[in-house]
Amino acid sequence: MAEPDYDAFREEVRRFALAHCPPEIREVVASYRKLSRKIWAPWQRILHAHGWGAPSWPKEYGGTGWDARQRVIFDEVMAECDCPPQYHHGLRHLGPVIIEFGTEEQKQRFLPGILDGSDWWCQGYSEPGAGSDLASLRTAARREGDHYIVDGQKTWTSHAHEADWMYTLVRTSKEEKKQQGISLLLVKLDSPGITIRPIRTIDGWHHVNEVFLDNVRVPVENRIGEEGKGWTYGKFLLERERLGGANIAPHRMALERVRDLVRTELAGPAREEERGLLLHRLLEAEAELLGAAELGRESVQAVMDGKPLGLLPSVVKLSTSVTMQSISQVALDAVGSRLASRFRRVEGEGPNANPPGLEWVQNYMYARVRTIYGGSSEVQKNVIARQLFGN
Amino acid sequence: MPFAATPLVAGETYETALRFGEEAAAELAPLAEPSAQAACLRAQWDRIAALGWPGIAVAEEEGGAGGDLAELAALLCGAGRTGLALPLATACGVVPALLSGHPLLADAASGSARIAAILPGATQDPGEEALRRQPNGALHGAAVGIEAPPAPTHVVAFVEGDAPALLLLRADAPGMELVASLRVDGRLAYDIRCRGAVPEAVLAEGDEARRRVETARDLGALLACVEGVSAMGALIEQTVAYLNQRVQFGAPLATQQALRHRVADMYVEYENLRGITAAALRAATTEDVLPWRAIAFAKLRLGIAGREVAESAIQCHGGMGMTEELPAIRLCKRLLMAEFEHGGRVFQARRLLAA
């Protein structure tokens, strides 16, 4: 098979993004405001109508059939054009699991809604007692005829408040190893017995929730794969995610935006030294990103060659998460004294609305999570050390 | 299997340089006296000259071996793992670039001419002046701590002024004084003072002189990064080996999470530096002109990552980290010194900010 013309592909994606992504959507992305279903869903519909709904899925399931390099180029151009990154829970997490392990009926029923953005999914993994140590989860499902009865609590559930469905890991039996006896269920969020409560996070945005499951009935046909093998499917899902870090474009966009912010916020000769200090810190972040970009390039090449990625995903995750935090720190240092002091208006309407630019403060607070989620820095270091020390 | 670093450029040259560097380090290790170390380096220089290293990337018609930048990088990769105390980046990269087109290049390539290069940014002691050319052509001023091959025969100096120029002087010319030191990393450096010394030749003038020293310095910076990546890879290997073997409180230190995480941090710095250096090297070998921005960013990273990794390695070695002779610690000192070669981080940051 002839190799695709990647430069032409990049141009094609860019033309499409600029022509078809609505300005009001790009404006939200460009200003770092919170993305929600209202922003994502219409964009997913547009992509799907163009045949680009699922870049990482095989063609027979409505995917694009692109290779790894095309997928990363697509993501890069989307970021460069301020298009929202595709909502990942259905497309990147659950979809591939259904394609790999789901029944024909499950594929027919769930894949179309993910593709066109009409169904919204969230992930019910973490629990109050099971964060980085996910296998300690305790939410239990017991079989009653052709239903499971689910009891327990999920937490950190992003987007549960706007989702229709939750894919969730539950314990269907107690086994010797905690990784065993876990099953993957698909739960409709309007089922009786479900309560969703927002978690107030330090950034002032609403993205995560607690989800309480109290005697929730889930049809057995909503179980993916075999009972008790949920951990395998969960791992499959996380392993497919490992190329996610190869796309450094969002980081570069953040860097350029903060550089502009520093130049405008600290304009004028009186603030020259302050400006110089912050611009210098951004330079160091830029150097880190250049190194990370090359590691991303190596990752894509490894996937293209069918070679193992080794420690690359852990290294890229560790370093880019910290670099993004550094960039957000510079932004905070530029606007903090003016805006961190006005984080929430007491009366939030009309002339009392939040001052423009507050997103930089929120974004700084949000950036703390980058070294916590997706395998915390400490977990990644354990992974790296095990490999380096050979034990 | 514990970590083993992969060289940026492998091959025969890499292997030869690695073997040479290991022997050279073993030879130097027992010598405590600076004069004995300097004599040892002088003898090692003659051996690398016999191997043709100074001319490895000099065109055949100019008296060299005609190798390309990748060949030169392979040399630095091999030597870098051992912390070789000879100035390969300067002697095999920077100096040939400065001498381009001059007959002395053939002698530099053979190693018989040993050349110290004074480039813009060279430092002076307090109260001293940078080199300047008097109307009669004679040179006055000083430059201190100039990394050079043992017992330089010549000095190439860039002088600012109304007519910037790149000048060639004999080291033994009247009015020249050279005083040798050993740097932190055990390499030789010279304080060079000119009191009315008369240059033997003008190598370049005006913009051409400036362009030539800038290109030469960027080449040196790139090679320092290549060398630094190798040194860092070897240093992490040796730190891992030490922690695996050293037992305290009844268990190998490698079982302590605090130390494991510190090594993981070293590895992240190493990988990042390897990435940015690989990208700069690739650009340098495929483009017609040296990609100065890519090199400046890489050198900026080398300064930061080099110090971070060296300090961590010393910490991980505990009291042993404070000793002179441990091979790992020699690599630490090499990494700490790299910051000051061919434009440090402040210099690189300033030019990037100004661009």
Positive or negative torsion for Cα B132, B138, B142, B143: positive
Spell out the domain ranges in chain B.
12-110, 115-205, 209-354
Domain B115-205 = CATH 3.20.20.60: no
Residue in the block written with tokens 């040196």: B220
Q: Buried b vs exposed e over B189-212: b needs ≥16 C-beta within 10 Å?
A: bbbbbbeebbbeeebbeeeebbeb
How many Å apart are CA A293 and CA A249, to the nearest integer? Answer: 9
Contact yes or no for A286 and B271 at CB 8 A: no
At A341, the amino acid letter reads: S
The domain boundary, picked from A230, A262, A279, lies at: A230
* B237-251 tens-digit pLDDT: 999 999 999 999 999
| Nearest alpha carbon to residue A194 among A182, A211, A176 | A211
Considering only CB atoms, A388 lies closest to which of B267, B304, B349, namely B267
Structural domain contains residue A91: no
Looking at A230, A265, A287, the residue that finishes a domain is A230
**Within this chain, do residues A216 and A254 fall inside the same structural domain, yes or no?**
no
Residue with structure tokens 């040798």? B180
Q: Rounded CA gap, B85 and B150, in Å?
A: 10
CATH at residue A265 = 1.20.140.10
Tokens of B157: 């100096």
Rg (CA), chain B: 20
Task: Let me know: does A239 contact A93? Beta carbons within 8 Å.
Answer: no
- A377-389 helix and B257-286 helix, angle to the nearest 10 degrees: 80
Residue B83 has pLDDT above 70, yes or no: yes
Same domain, A262 and A377: yes
B238 Cα to chain A: minimum distance (Å): 11
Q: Are A349 and A274 in contact (CB under 8 A)?
A: no
CA distance A224 to A201: 32
Flag whether pLDDT at B148 surpasses 70.
yes
Q: Which of B261, B271, B304 sits opposite A295 (nearest CB)?
A: B271
Residue-by-residue DSSP string for B64-108? S----HHHHHHHHHHHHTTT-SS-HIIIIIIHHHHHTTSTHHHHH
> How many Å apart are CA B124 and CA B139, to the nearest integer?
15
Number of CB atoms found within 10 A of residue A352's CB: 10
Model confidence pLDDT, tens digit, residues B61-81: 999 999 999 999 999 999 999
Other CB atoms closer than 10 Å to residue B30's CB: what's the count? Answer: 9
Cβ-count burial of B129 within 10 angstroms (0-12 exposed, 13-18 middle, 19+ buried)?
exposed
Of B240, B261, B304, the CB nearest to A381: B261
CA-to-CA distance for B272 and B283, rounded, in angstroms? 17
Which of A114, A109, A117, A75 lies closest to A94 in space, CA to CA? A114
Residue the block writes with tokens 């049809």: A219
Which fold is adopted by the domain B209-354?
Butyryl-CoA Dehydrogenase, subunit A; domain 3 (1.20.140)
The whole-angstrom separation of Cα A159 and Cα A208 is 6
Pairing of strands B154-159, B115-118: parallel
How many helices (H) and strands (E) chain B has is answered by 11, 10
The pLDDT score that the predictor gives to residue B1 is: 87
B180 has pLDDT over 90: yes
Structure tokens at A52: 């680009």
Are B276 and B304 spatial neighbours (Cβ–Cβ below 8 Å)? no
* A307, part of any domain: yes
Token code pair at residue A57: 């899925």
**Structure tokens of B349?**
């940051």
Q: What pLDDT score does B20 carry?
A: 98
On whether residue A107 sits in a domain, the answer given is no
Does A277 reside within a domain? yes
Whether residue A289 contacts residue A325, with contact meaning beta carbons closer than 8 Å, is answered with no
Whether residue A114 is contained in a domain is answered as no
Please tell me whether residues A185 and A132 are part of one structural domain.
yes
Considering the domain architecture, whether residues A319 and A204 belong to the same structural domain is answered as no
Give yes or no: residues A26 and A156 share one domain.
no
Which residue, B327, B309, B304, is CA-closest to B263?
B309
- Which of residues A33, A62, A86 is at a domain's end? A86
Residue A20 lies in a domain: yes
Mean pLDDT by 10 residues, chain A (391 residues): 90 98 94 91 97 95 94 95 94 93 97 97 93 89 97 96 97 93 97 96 91 98 96 80 80 96 96 95 97 95 91 94 97 93 79 81 94 91 96 88
pLDDT of residue A32: 84
For residue B146, the SS3 value is: strand
Please give the pLDDT value at position A352.
66
- Quickly count helices (H) and strands (E) in chain A: 13, 8
A241 is known as an active-site residue: yes
Spell out which residues of chain A touch residue B245, defining contact as CB-CB under 8 Å.
Answer: none
A131 and A193 housed in the same domain: yes
For residue B235, the surrounding DSSP H or E stretch is: helix B206-245
Instruction: Please tell me whether residues A59 and A151 are part of one structural domain.
Output: no
Among the options A241, A274, A286, A298, which is catalytic? A241
Tell me the pLDDT tens digit for each residue of B278-320: 999 999 999 989 999 999 999 999 999 999 999 999 999 999 9
Q: DSSP characters for A266-335? A: T-SGGGHHHHHHHHHHHHHHHHHHHHHHHHHHHHHHHHHTT---TTHHHHHHHHHHHHHHHHHHHHHHHH
- The reported pLDDT for the residue numbered A87 is 92
| DSSP-derived 3-state class of residue B189 | strand
Q: What pLDDT was estimated at residue A344?
A: 83
Strand partners, A188: A165
What domain range is A291 assigned to?
248-389
User: Does residue A255 sit within a domain?
Assistant: yes
* Average pLDDT of the residues in B134-152: 96
Q: Is A241 in the B-facing interface, judged by CB distances under 8 Å?
A: no
Q: Where are the beta strands (DSSP E) in chain B?
A: 115-118, 132-133, 139-147, 154-159, 165-170, 176-182, 188-197, 201-205, 247-248, 251-252
Same domain, A82 and A200: no
State whether A219 and A253 are in the same domain: no
User: Which chain B residues have any C-beta within 8 angstroms of a chain A C-beta?
Assistant: 1-3, 236, 240, 243-244, 254, 257, 260-261, 263-265, 267-268, 271-276, 278-279, 294, 297-298, 300-301, 304, 349, 352-353
**Chain A residues 273-312 with CB within 8 Å of chain B:** 276, 279-280, 283-284, 286-288, 290-295, 297-298, 311-312
Chain A CA closest to residue B257: A382
Helix (H, G, I), strand (E, B) or coil at B134: coil
For B12-110, CATH number? 1.10.540
* Domain at A139, CATH number: 2.40.110.10
- The pLDDT of residue A355 is 82
The torsion region of residue B257 among left (phi > 0), alpha (psi -120 to 50) and beta comes to alpha
**Cα A77 to Cα B305: distance, rounded to the nearest angstrom:** 30
Binary contact (B2, A287; C-beta < 8 A): no
Residue A280 has its nearest CB partner, among B260, B276, B349, at: B349
Q: How many domains does chain A have?
A: 3
**Model ipTM value:** 0.89
Both A224 and A260 in one domain: the answer is: no
Is the model's pLDDT at B135 over the cut of 80? Answer: yes
Same domain flag for A262 and A353: yes
CA–CA separation, B251 and B214 (whole Å): 52
Residue type for A155, please? T
User: Looking at chain A, how many residues does it have?
Assistant: 391
Q: Minimal Cα–Cα distance from A295 to chain B, Å?
A: 6
pLDDT digits (tens, 9 = 90+) for B248-284: 999 999 999 999 999 999 999 999 999 999 999 999 9
Phi, then psi, of A214 in degrees rounded to 5: -125, 100
Cα dihedral angle (B181, B183, B188, B189), rounded to 10 degrees? -70
Report which of B24, B17, B27 is spatially closest to residue B80, judged by C-alpha positions.
Answer: B17
Same domain flag for A281 and A323: yes
CB atoms A291 and B301 under 8 Å: yes
Is residue B162's pLDDT more than 90?
no
Give the best residue of B8, B260, B268, B346 to mutate against chain A (max A CB count within 10 A): B268
Q: For residue A196, is it within any domain?
A: yes
CB-CB contact of B110 with B146 (8 Å)? no
> How many other CB atoms sit within 10 Å of the CB of residue B303?
27
